[in-house]
Chains A and B, each alone.
Chain A
Amino acid sequence: MTKSIESGIPGFDELIMSDDNEGGITEKSITLIYGPPKTGKSIFCNQFVYHGLLNQEPCLYVTTDHSMKQLQNIMMDFQWYIQNYIENQTLYIIDGISHLSGANLIETNNVKSSSVGNPADMMVKVGIGSRSVYKKSNHFRSVLDSVNTLLSFNLDQMVIRVLKAYIRRIIEAGGTGIIAYTEGSTTPGTENELKSLFDNTIRLDGQNIRYESKFDDINELNNFESAYSITDNGIVVNLK
């Protein structure tokens, strides 16, 4: 039975529960969440992070689509308040976009500025960040939202290598993570290569959520699918 952690998304853990999976996001693995734009990928990531924070689990968040301030505001729309977790250093944020937009981000022990255009710097900071959250707990959550911005600023193959390094780093430190990606942001070849890096994937298409896992048997995928909706409280999977 694969060990899992609660996703925090009502209905999701039950949906993917099976003889092999006790329900939830597979522990010490990185899951790819993908789908068309505006289907709730970031909401899923944020809900996953916030659920961890509520349970005192440290989280490492690499934000490349939104600045830290924007991230706080977006989460606030769902009544997920993260300021306290930033202050008590349960949440470690690497902001990869503020610098590019010219905003002045004040760095602290757990808030670091990087740039999507400098992936080596970002990965150095992921290394420091993962060590920092690991010191708090050998079980932590991580989110990278999203790959798209990295692809906009770097060569596809470099981004693939960055993701490999990221996955390795997080898993080695005992983290459980999610990486978000918007379908069609790169060539079909790169997209396939990207998906192949992950044992578990979640696809959101605006109506249905589909979970695929090749963790136990690479020849036979475990598939789970159900409708979902985005509510004021986040994503809810509507079990059949």
Chain B
Amino acid sequence: MKEMLHITGIFDRLSGGNSSEETNQQEENTIEDYEELLKEYKDAEAEIRINIATLYFERENFKESIKNLEKAIEIYTELKDLEKQALVFDLMGDINRFNKKNNSALKHYREAYRIYSEINSDHKIEIQEKIDKIQVNMTAREAETIYDGISPKRTENNNVSSQKSPDYSKISSNIEEVIGMLKGADTYLSYAKSENPMEALESAYDMSSGIGDDAAKSTLLMIMGYVNLEKSKTEDSLKYFNEAFENFQEIDDKIGVAVSSLLIGTAYYIIGNIDMVNSNFRKSIAIFRELKDVFGENVAMRLMNAIYEE
């Protein structure tokens, strides 16, 4: 609607209006004025392309959506509007990510990152986070098969405080997918596969504390919680998840808060405290929605579905 009003404004100006004042104004127009007008016109066309792309996206017609965004890019390139070019590349990345075309999404996000870096825009940080998330997720998926092989053996461990749920193996891959959304998780998840995972993770935790990498520190706590969860040490895992949750809150990492809430909920599910499951899941979903993180929300929903289907 806003765009339509904008266009209407342009048409009014082109028509010169009816009043004598407007007619005089038009007579004074120079080539520069018209060139400026033409720029506004093109800018409006690009915005309409984005609106059309949005509608196609809502109808899940990703091909047409991307096609319109590509046209918007062409216009912004002609207008030499770098910031809007970056914005559109970012949108194309979002669409491809939603459509699970991770490589294309990465390509578009990288282009957006390059442009935002060139114009020294703070938006590059957001884009970097998106790039990280995709890379993390791509690697986490590759790791799934390895973890699937590990989980069934864990039922033998009975020397722990809480109940081993036979359902755990069903949600193991979902948990990894959830952790995979965290910065650096792809790398640190590999520590969980080492001969002595807790030792390796603790060593990395000490290092991250030493260099002040708070995000990595919290991610490592999450993975330590995950390793404990796999070993049926649910109470211990809950301690790690809660500590990570507090850290994520401290550094204002909303994705981290959402992810830790999910896994706190998952641990409570294994313990059997359904009230805590629901409240933590709700908290997590609310954050993803607030962030308009469709991908994150989908990952969370998959884990929740796996749990509630039980």
Contacts and interface: CB of A to CB of B under 8 A. Distances in A.
Interface of A: 99-100, 102, 114-115, 117-121, 123-124, 127, 153-154, 157-158, 161-162, 165
B103 to A, nearest CB: 8
Contacts of A165: 207, 210-211
20 contacts: A99-B139, A99-B187, A102-B138, A114-B187, A117-B132, A118-B187, A118-B188, A118-B216, A119-B216, A120-B213, A123-B207, A123-B210, A124-B204, A124-B207, A154-B213, A158-B211, A161-B210, A161-B212, A165-B207, A165-B211
A158 B251 CA distance: 14
B191 to A, nearest CB: 8
Contacts of A153: 128
A211 B135 CA distance: 41
Contacts of B213: 119-120, 154, 158
B69 to A, nearest CB: 23
B93 to A, nearest CB: 15
Given A115-B187, A123-B210, A161-B211, 5 more contacts: A119-B211, A120-B208, A120-B213, A124-B200, A165-B210
B233 interface: no
Nearest to A157: B212
Interface string B123-149: 000001000100100110000000000
B135 A120 contact: no
Nearest to B185: A118
Given A115-B187, A117-B184, A121-B187, A100 B207 contact: no
B106 A102 contact: yes
A173 B132 CA distance: 33
- Per DSSP, chain A at the interface is helix
A118 B184 contact: yes
B207 A115 contact: no
B212 A158 contact: yes
Contacts of A119: 211, 213, 216
Contact of B135 (A100, A121, A123, A154): A100
A158 B184 CA distance: 15
B121 to A, nearest CB: 15
Q: Across the A-B interface, give the 4 residue pairs with the lowest CB-CB distance, nearest first.
A: A120-B208, A118-B184, A161-B211, A120-B216
Interface of B: 103, 106, 128, 132, 135, 138-139, 183-184, 187-188, 200, 203-204, 207-208, 210-213, 216-217, 220
B128 A121 contact: no
Chain A CB within 10 Å, residue with most, of B106, B207, B212: B207
A121 B191 CA distance: 10
A54 to B, nearest CB: 33
A120 B106 contact: no
Contacts of B216: 118-121
Contacts of A120: 184, 204, 207-208, 211, 213, 216-217, 220
B203 A115 contact: no
B41 to A, nearest CB: 38
Contact of B203 (A99, A124, A154): A124
Interface centre among A117, A120, A161 (most CB of B within 10 A): A120
A68 to B, nearest CB: 17
A115 B103 CA distance: 18
A169 to B, nearest CB: 10
Contacts of A127: 203, 207
A67 to B, nearest CB: 15
Contacts of B135: 99-100, 102
A124 B204 CA distance: 6
A164 to B, nearest CB: 8
